[in-house]
Amino acid sequence: MSNLQVISAEEVNSLITVRDGEVKLGERVHTPEVADWVESLKACPARFVLLGIPEDIGVRANYGVGGTHTAWSEALKAILNLQNTDSLSGDSLAILGCFNFSDWMKKADHMDIPGLRDTVGRIDEEVFQVVREIIAAGKVPIVVGGGHNNCYPLLKAASVAHGVPVNCINLDPHSDFRAIEGRHSGNGFRYAKMEGYLRKYAIIGLHRNYNSQTVLEVLQADEDVQYSFYEDMFLHEPDRFHSTIEQAIRFTSGTPTGIELDLDAIAGVLASAATPSGITVLQARQYITWCAQLSTPAYLHLPEGITNRNDGSMDPSTGKLLAYLVSDFMRG
Q: Distance (Å, rounded) from C-alpha 120 to C-alpha 153? A: 10
Angle between helices 281-294 and 317-331 (to 10 degrees): 30
- Domain span at residue 29 reads 4-331
Spell out the alpha helix ranges (H) of 24-150.
37-43, 57-60, 71-80, 102-108, 113-136
pLDDT digits (tens, 9 = 90+) for 42-53: 999 999 999 999
Question: Which band of pLDDT confidence, cut at 50, 70 and 90, is reported for residue 80?
Answer: very high
Q: What integer is the mean pLDDT of 242-271? A: 97
Q: What integer is the mean pLDDT of 102-124? A: 97
pLDDT digits (tens, 9 = 90+) for 263-275: 999 999 999 999 9
Query: What is residue 35's predicted lDDT score, i.e. its pLDDT?
Result: 86
Q: What integer is the mean pLDDT of 128-132? A: 98
Query: What is residue 45's predicted lDDT score, i.e. its pLDDT?
Result: 96
| Dihedral sign for Cα atoms in the order 301, 305, 308, 312 | positive
Q: Which residues contact 276 (CB under 8 A, 6 or more apart)?
A: 267, 268
Query: What is residue 236's predicted lDDT score, i.e. its pLDDT?
Result: 84
On the question of pLDDT at 324 being above 60, the answer is yes
Q: Which helix (DSSP H) or strand (DSSP E) does residue 160 occupy?
A: helix 151-162
Question: Which band of pLDDT confidence, cut at 50, 70 and 90, is reported for residue 256?
Answer: very high
pLDDT digits (tens, 9 = 90+) for 196-237: 999 999 999 999 999 999 999 999 999 999 999 999 999 987
| Dihedral sign for Cα atoms in the order 125, 54, 109, 65 | positive
On the question of pLDDT at 239 being above 90, the answer is no
On the question of pLDDT at 1 being above 90, the answer is no
Query: What is residue 2's predicted lDDT score, i.e. its pLDDT?
Result: 82
Q: Distance (Å, rounded) from C-alpha 253 to C-alpha 111? A: 42
Distances from the Cα of 120 to the Cαs of 51, 281, 309, in angstroms? 18, 30, 19
The pTM of this model reads 0.97
Domain count along the chain: 1
In CATH, what number is assigned to the domain containing residue 134?
3.40.800.10
Question: Which band of pLDDT confidence, cut at 50, 70 and 90, is reported for residue 287?
Answer: very high
Query: What is residue 82's predicted lDDT score, i.e. its pLDDT?
Result: 98
